[in-house]
Amino acid sequence: MRLSAGREFTDADRLGGHWVVVVNETLAKRIWPGESPLGKFLKQGWPETPEADAPWREVVGIAPDVKLEGVDQDVPMQAYLPLRQAPSRSVAIVARTSVPPETLARALETAVQSVEKDLPVTRVLPMAQLMRNAIARQRLSTVILGMFAGVALLLAAVGLYGVVSQSVTERTREIGVRMALGSERSAVLRLFVFHGVATAGVGTLMGLAGAFVLSRWLETLLFGVEPTDPATFAIVAIVLLLVAAAACYIPSRRAARMDPLIALRTD
């Protein structure tokens, strides 16, 4: 992470030295709204640590906000401490590589054990895998919802196809009369396609209104996009209308190709 302001930790930030801390932007805005936190002091501790034992630390840097509790959760207040002043039994190391990261697992373990041969190295995995694990629940839910949405779209297209086909059958004599009086085949095609798409348009508007009301229930599955994102709603409406037009086109084309004489003889 690149600091937004202030400095990074140095070798001087060790036990016995000046107590320092780097805070994230959320903490800075919440505790010191409208002020610079640099040079201010705070105490960082744990519930089991007596307050008197927690030292006052000077804020020397501001770090950008980073997701900690999941990509779909708000960023909490965060404080970063120098490892030399706050040793941890569990340390994560991030390494940037110019080769596939999977090929360096053994080399990284060897490098760590060259410093301390009994130090275990666990969970060596590429950042892409770490991110996939972080959103595994949301991805599974999205795939399931996508499958149901695809089935619903298919059923809607089949149903609309059946409705238009039935309409063509019931209006066969009308089609014959129109064409006998000089109506163009393209006009007949447009007539049935228009009625089918108009019906789908009404259903789409009702569906979008329902989706707008119920979208808050999907908020936990979304990140980086609002539940009522206008672009998403527009794309969905366009896809639905295109599918409806395609479903209406086949029976409408059959009606446009109908022989007027045969249509007029139909009972």
The 3-class secondary structure across 92-136, one letter per residue, is: CCCCCCCCCHHHHHHHHHHHHHHHCCCCCCCCCCCHHHHHHHHCH
Burial class (CB in 10 A: 0-12, 13-18, 19+), 138: middle
3-state DSSP call for residue 210?
A: helix
Q: Report yes or no: 24 and 65 within 8 Å, Cβ to Cβ.
A: yes
Which pLDDT tens digit goes with each residue over 112-144? 888 888 888 888 888 888 888 877 877 888 889
Q: Say what the pTM is.
A: 0.56
267 has pLDDT over 60? no
pLDDT of residue 22: 95
Domain residue ranges of the chain, discontinuous segments joined by +: 5-88, 135-265
How far apart are alpha carbons 149 and 32 in whole angstroms? 47
51 has pLDDT over 80? no
How far apart are alpha carbons 244 and 154 in whole angstroms? 10
Paired tokens of 127: 């950042």
pLDDT band at 64 (very low <50, low <70, confident <90, very high): very high
Mean per-residue pLDDT over the chain, rounded:
82
Helix (H) or strand (E) holding 262: helix 260-265
How far apart are alpha carbons 61 and 17 in whole angstroms? 17
Which pLDDT tens digit goes with each residue over 196-215? 888 888 888 888 888 887 77
Looking at per-residue pLDDT, the higher value among 152 and 181 belongs to: 152
| Cα separations in angstroms, 11 against 23, 40, 84, 114, 220 | 19, 21, 9, 22, 42
